[in-house]
């Protein structure tokens, strides 16, 4: 938290930077681009979270962390090597590192911790898939199966991809073989 103290003859007066005590500017075109109001409410929620929970200043809009805070990994879970995985994936990129409204950070925050404990990950996916799994073989972020023409063929990728082996030895359809 940014905090300065002003010492007068009788009182110590805390002073917070005006930027840190503000929610931050909201994107003016949200009303025009999203008639459901969801985007506006989501941006406000992320701005409130940045202010009240992270206690960090904002950049261009309230849902953006400053470049400095983005480079410190404040948009990511602080544990399990999540931010190390992000840095290995891509150097500073404002959308990924600082925009709290984007979804790009979610796969890192959820799936990197699961990758650190494959047994726990297996149990989670047994519940999700309602299947008995032998193992979790790979956890991949921003995964595009190859050959490209056989699968997505449009330059996109899966946000997160879990490769597993069922107890009968079968694998998911995109498994690298």
The DSSP-derived string for the chain is --EEEEE-SS-EEEEE-TTTTS--PPPTTHHHH-TTSHHHHHHHHHHHHIIIII---BSSSTTBB-HHHHHTTTTS-SSTTHHHHHHHH-S--HHHHTBTTSSTHHHHHHHHHHHH-HHHHHHHHHHHHTS-EEEEEEEEEEE--SSGGGTT-SS--EEEEEEEEETTS---TT---
Picking from 86, 110, 134, the residue at the C-terminal end of a domain is 110
- 35 lies in a domain? yes
What band does 132 get if pLDDT is binned at 50, 70 and 90? very high
Instruction: Say whether both 42 and 92 belong to one domain.
Output: yes
Check residues 150 and 48 and name the one with the higher pLDDT.
Answer: 48
What band does 143 get if pLDDT is binned at 50, 70 and 90? confident
31-85 pLDDT per residue, tens: 889 999 999 999 999 999 999 999 999 999 999 999 999 999 999 999 999 999 9
What band does 21 get if pLDDT is binned at 50, 70 and 90? low
Instruction: Say whether both 60 and 83 belong to one domain.
Output: yes
Instruction: Say whether both 36 and 67 belong to one domain.
Output: yes
**Rounded distance between C-alpha atoms, residue 99 and residue 105, angstroms:** 9
Instruction: Say whether both 40 and 101 belong to one domain.
Output: yes
Picking from 71, 94, 110, the residue at the C-terminal end of a domain is 110
Q: How many domains does the chain have?
A: 2
- 148 lies in a domain? yes
72 to each of 65, 77, 82, 83, how far by Cα in Å?
10, 11, 12, 9
Check residues 124 and 14 and name the one with the higher pLDDT.
Answer: 124
Of 28, 27, 22, 83, the residue nearest 56 (C-alpha): 22
pLDDT at 11 over 70: no
Check residues 146 and 174 and name the one with the higher pLDDT.
Answer: 146
Instruction: Say whether both 93 and 130 belong to one domain.
Output: no
103-123 pLDDT per residue, tens: 889 999 999 999 999 999 999
Q: What does the pLDDT read at residue 10?
A: 37
Q: What does the pLDDT read at residue 42?
A: 94
Instruction: Say whether both 7 and 75 belong to one domain.
Output: yes
- 175 lies in a domain? no
Instruction: Say whether both 159 and 123 belong to one domain.
Output: yes
Provide φ and ψ at 134, rounded to 5°: -80, -40
What band does 174 get if pLDDT is binned at 50, 70 and 90? low
Averaged pLDDT, 157-167? 92
Mean pLDDT of the chain: 86
Range of the domain at 69: 3-110
Picking from 110, 128, 143, the residue at the C-terminal end of a domain is 110
């Amino acid at each position: 938290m940014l905090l300065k103290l002003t010492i007068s003859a009788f009182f110590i007066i805390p002073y917070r930077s005006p930027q840190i005590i503000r929610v931050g500017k909201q994107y003016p075109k949200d009303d025009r681009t999203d008639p459901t109001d969801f985007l506006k409410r989501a941006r406000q929620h992320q701005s409130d979270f940045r202010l009240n929970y992270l206690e960090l200043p904002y950049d261009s809009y309230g849902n953006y962390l400053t470049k400095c805070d983005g480079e410190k990994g404040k948009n990511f879970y602080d544990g399990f090597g999540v931010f190390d995985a992000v840095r290995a994936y891509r150097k500073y990129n404002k959308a990924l590192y600082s925009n709290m409204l984007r979804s790009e950070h979610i796969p890192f925050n959820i799936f990197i911790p699961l990758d650190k404990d494959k047994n726990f990950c297996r149990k989670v996916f047994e519940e999700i898939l309602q299947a008995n799994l032998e193992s979790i073989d790979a956890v991949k972020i921003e995964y595009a199966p190859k050959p490209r023409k056989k699968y997505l063929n449009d330059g996109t990728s899966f946000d997160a991809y879990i490769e597993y082996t069922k107890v009968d030895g079968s694998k998911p359809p995109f498994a690298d073989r």
